Amino acid sequence: MRSRIERVIVTLVKERIDAFLITKAANVRYLSGYSGEDAILFITHKRRFFITDSRYALQARKDTKGFTVKIIKSTLTETVRDLARALKVRRLGFECNDLTHAQHERLVRTLPGTEIVPVSDIIEKLRQIKDAGEIRLIRRSVSILERSLIRFKTMLMPGLTERDLAAELEHFIKASGGEKSSFDIIVASGSNSAFPHARPTNRRIKSNDMVLLDLGVECEGYNSDLTRVFFLGKINPRTKKIYGIVKEANRRSIKAIRPGVEIFKIDEIARGFIRKRGFGAYFGHALGHGIGLEVHESPSISGRNHTVLKPGMVFTIEPAVYLPGRGGIRIEDMVLVTKKGCEVLTDGIYK
Amino acid sequence: MRSRIERVIVTLVKERIDAFLITKAANVRYLSGYSGEDAILFITHKRRFFITDSRYALQARKDTKGFTVKIIKSTLTETVRDLARALKVRRLGFECNDLTHAQHERLVRTLPGTEIVPVSDIIEKLRQIKDAGEIRLIRRSVSILERSLIRFKTMLMPGLTERDLAAELEHFIKASGGEKSSFDIIVASGSNSAFPHARPTNRRIKSNDMVLLDLGVECEGYNSDLTRVFFLGKINPRTKKIYGIVKEANRRSIKAIRPGVEIFKIDEIARGFIRKRGFGAYFGHALGHGIGLEVHESPSISGRNHTVLKPGMVFTIEPAVYLPGRGGIRIEDMVLVTKKGCEVLTDGIYK
């Protein structure tokens, strides 16, 4: 935690920012270790404050090290104002991708003598590169995910509803040591799978159905994310063909991942392949997303991202083809960029 | 839905706002019925647009009535700009409690000829007063909550961990027709209950423990919220005394709820009573919160809210006393303001 904050301070000094207000929950957790809600950090070049309300006072004092805990007496803005005045802050940075317009206005009004400076992506960029401890937690999350998929396979048979399956999986994750599922579990059978973000319905699984499962596990704040499509009985030849195309798109883009490559090229490999096979119009979303303390975080694996891959980045690769009214195929893996290429963290799980 | 939008338009006309950008998910759902993510509304005095990306295109066309669905081609801001230009919007309202500072800046930059007007609380105020359909869903949610508590009581015995109990409840809620729990279930035993927002740990329930359960159920988007404290075996006399004080504070404030009363007075009844009994320093949070599409919504039942109670408001009443290192007592109910007083929606549930 200490070295993370020190790297944030390097940027603050460079940008001549005296103090930085950190409001985004995942960033608060990344820098302080605090896993609760409704807390913000106030960091100067020399001091660290942790601001929360009375509901979290006990947890804050227990969880955070190296921070001075301040409990909000009247309003958050007034607490920040008092600190900024006491520490003679002239330029105060804030997270402009998190603070709302109204909160920003309140800050400006309450601190008339202070310059309020929008800051973006400092911490998000640090978070792109996972350290050993983070990778360990992600691996643990993937291992619970893998066991959950085995459990799913044993349950998957005609008669159960999508909701039954999702509820059972949620329960299994908690019983297996995961905190919870990283997001609402997607179990989409038959034509429901054509909705990229389907929610489980009361539709019963039928023989010869295809069933798409999109699942993640949260483990000490770190997430995993995986999609697989299962077939009960016969596979329709057209579906089989599409499955092959999506799988090959997944394989090809993963093969190209290594440090130094620009991200939009990875997206284009999968997208170009699907396009060439005639299904380009049915793959509308980005190829993947960074994952860690948030399920979707930087870097986005999209055709517009010119960021260069670096060792320690962890993200998903999830090409797909959705045919409205018929069904969708998505094959999603998680990769870790290594020194020479990448490691597929979800390799070997039903693919 | 139609009449809700018409009431929003009345305010727009009054404020001379030509179009209103609605970005907050609960408000999007309230006005359109759409229950997915990543969608916004663009409403003029005459037309209604639903803007989302390709992942939700199918669901949007299925779920929303009376809206023209626009799928984002490049960026959201550009989609909004194109609409605003085509419809000759001069004053564009936005939700300043939802849009981030950076999003607002982007909007201002992309629409140089348009006045961008901060709007707050129009929809939140409408949502304070629940209609018959909403009350029906809240009642359904409470009835699943009640069954979950009965289940909890049958499971509650020494040996199980807090996590076991929470996982089993989550599963039970889904098996009983609830969508999911409204928030991370709190099962806090012994001194863990002193954390107002405790998370379930691996601590095993012991004989003579006290166990605090804070639980909510989501049902077609609508939420419930209830806290009870259970005692296994003997109750320590001091705890019993505090329990009695909190229960009486709950009873007294509920008794005072009726249309026309200012909210801060309700808060003061409970707080004043707890203060007089010598535990004022151990009750730090507001007395309650509105509940509906969000677990915490307007009105806040706090000492600073001068809003007047109206029939149709639904909120929680949850006085508490937390003694650090020892334990906490919170007794939370949900009430519906009626024409002459209030109905306790959670009455009779283990109290």
Task: Identify the pLDDT of residue A64.
Answer: 87
Task: Identify the pLDDT of residue A36.
Answer: 84
**How many CB pairs below 8 Å do chains A and B form together?**
101
Our count of domains for chain B comes to 2
Q: Is residue B312 part of a domain?
A: yes
Chain B nearest-CA residue for A99: B100
Hey, are the CB atoms on B96 and A102 less than 8 Å from each other?
Answer: yes
3-state SS class at A248: helix
Question: Does A73 share its domain with A98?
Answer: yes
Which amino acid is it at A111? Answer: L
Least confidently predicted of A73-77, A86-90, A211-215, A227-231:
A73-77
Residues of B in contact with A53 (CB under 8 A): 284-285
- Whether the upstream peptide bond of residue A118 has omega within 30° of 0, thus cis, is no
Instruction: Categorize the per-residue pLDDT at B99 as very low, low, confident or very high, splitting at 50, 70 and 90.
Output: very high
Question: Does B157 share its domain with B45?
Answer: no
Question: Does A190 share its domain with A91?
Answer: no
Task: Identify the pLDDT of residue B46.
Answer: 95
| pLDDT tens-place string over residues B178-194 | 889 999 999 999 999 99
Residue ending a domain, among A77, A94, A128, is: A128
Instruction: Categorize the per-residue pLDDT at B348 as very low, low, confident or very high, splitting at 50, 70 and 90.
Output: confident
Residues of A in contact with B104 (CB under 8 A): 101
Chain B nearest-CA residue for A170: B171
Q: Is residue B350 part of a domain?
A: no
| pLDDT tens-place string over residues A119-142 | 999 999 999 999 999 999 999 999
DSSP states of B45-64 as a string? SS-EEEEE-GGGHHHHHHH-
Residue B2, pLDDT > 80, answer: no
Chain B nearest-CA residue for A286: B55
Hey, are the CB atoms on A37 and B167 less than 8 Å from each other?
Answer: no
Residues of A in contact with B55 (CB under 8 A): 196-197, 284-285
Residues of B in contact with A56 (CB under 8 A): 196-197
Helix (H) or strand (E) holding A70: strand A68-71
Question: Does A308 share its domain with A223?
Answer: yes
Question: Does B236 share its domain with B306?
Answer: yes
Instruction: Categorize the per-residue pLDDT at B349 as very low, low, confident or very high, splitting at 50, 70 and 90.
Output: confident
Hey, are the CB atoms on A118 and B102 less than 8 Å from each other?
Answer: yes
Q: Give the mean model confidence (pLDDT) for residues A89-116.
A: 97
Question: Does A27 share its domain with A71?
Answer: yes
Residue B63, pLDDT > 90, answer: no
Q: Is residue A350 part of a domain?
A: no
B334 beta partners: B316
Question: Does B167 share its domain with B255?
Answer: yes
Q: Which of A58, A100, A180 sits opposite B100 (nearest CB)?
A: A100
Q: How many angstroms separate the CA atoms of B199 and B149, rounded?
A: 18
Q: Is residue B293 part of a domain?
A: yes
Hey, are the CB atoms on A102 and B94 less than 8 Å from each other?
Answer: no
Residue ending a domain, among A94, A128, A162, is: A128
Q: What's the mean per-residue pLDDT of chain A?
A: 95
Please give, rounded to a whole number of angstroms, the shortest distance from the CA of A58 to a CA of chain B: 7
Report the interhelical angle of B25-32 vs B2-14 (nearest 10°): 120
Q: Give the mean model confidence (pLDDT) for residues A335-344.
A: 97
Residue ending a domain, among B95, B126, B157, is: B126
Question: Does B148 share its domain with B269?
Answer: yes
Complex confidence, ipTM: 0.88
Q: Is residue A181 part of a domain?
A: yes
DSSP states of B289-308 as a string? EE-SSSSSEEEEESTT--PB
Q: Which of A102, A170, A194 sits opposite B171 (nearest CB)?
A: A170
Residues of A in contact with B184 (CB under 8 A): 180
Residue B1, pLDDT > 80, answer: no
Structure tokens at B63: 């779920």
| pLDDT tens-place string over residues B319-328 | 999 998 889 9
Q: Which of B102, B171, B180 sits opposite A120 (nearest CB)?
A: B102
Residues of B with CB under 8 A from a CB of A: 35-37, 53-59, 94, 96-105, 118, 120, 163, 166-168, 170-171, 174-175, 180, 184, 194-197, 199, 284-285, 322, 324
By CB atoms closer than 10 A (0-12, 13-18, 19+), residue B261 is: middle
Residue A350, pLDDT > 90, answer: no
Report the interhelical angle of A237-255 vs A263-276 (nearest 10°): 160
Task: Identify the pLDDT of residue B178.
Answer: 83
Residues of B in contact with A178 (CB under 8 A): none
Question: Does A30 share its domain with A144?
Answer: no
CA B159 to chain centre: 33
Question: Does A239 share its domain with A144?
Answer: yes
Question: Does B76 share its domain with B213?
Answer: no
| pLDDT tens-place string over residues A228-273 | 999 998 899 999 999 999 999 999 999 999 999 999 999 999 999 9
Hey, are the CB atoms on A174 and B170 less than 8 Å from each other?
Answer: yes
| pLDDT tens-place string over residues A168-204 | 999 999 888 888 999 999 999 999 999 888 889 999 9
Q: For the domain that residue B71 is a member of, what is the CATH number? A: 3.40.350.10
Q: Give the mean model confidence (pLDDT) for residues B16-26.
A: 97
Instruction: Categorize the per-residue pLDDT at B344 as very low, low, confident or very high, splitting at 50, 70 and 90.
Output: very high
Question: Does A61 share its domain with A206?
Answer: no
Least confidently predicted of A39-48, A61-70, A277-286, B26-35:
A61-70
Task: Identify the pLDDT of residue B202.
Answer: 93
Hey, are the CB atoms on B55 and A98 less than 8 Å from each other?
Answer: no
Residue B110, pLDDT > 90, answer: yes
Which of A52, A58, A103, A191 is most worth mutating to test chain B (most B CB atoms within 10 A of its CB)? Answer: A58
Q: For the domain that residue A187 is a member of, what is the CATH number? A: 3.90.230.10
Q: What's the mean per-residue pLDDT of chain B?
A: 95
Percent of chain B clearing pLDDT 90 (strictly above): 85
Instruction: Categorize the per-residue pLDDT at A213 as very low, low, confident or very high, splitting at 50, 70 and 90.
Output: very high
Please give, rounded to a whole number of angstroms, the shortest distance from the CA of A240 to a CA of chain B: 22
Residue A351, pLDDT > 80, answer: no
Q: Is residue B351 part of a domain?
A: no
Hey, are the CB atoms on A55 and B170 less than 8 Å from each other?
Answer: no
| pLDDT tens-place string over residues B74-94 | 889 999 999 999 999 999 999
Domain region containing B54: 2-126
Task: Identify the pLDDT of residue A68.
Answer: 95
| pLDDT tens-place string over residues B200-250 | 999 999 999 999 999 999 999 999 999 999 999 889 999 999 999 999 999
Hey, are the CB atoms on B102 and A94 less than 8 Å from each other?
Answer: no
Please give, rounded to a whole number of angstroms, the shortest distance from the CA of A36 to a CA of chain B: 8
Q: Give the mean model confidence (pLDDT) for residues A291-318.
A: 98
Hey, are the CB atoms on B37 and A197 less than 8 Å from each other?
Answer: yes
Which amino acid is it at A182? Answer: S
Q: Is residue B349 part of a domain?
A: no
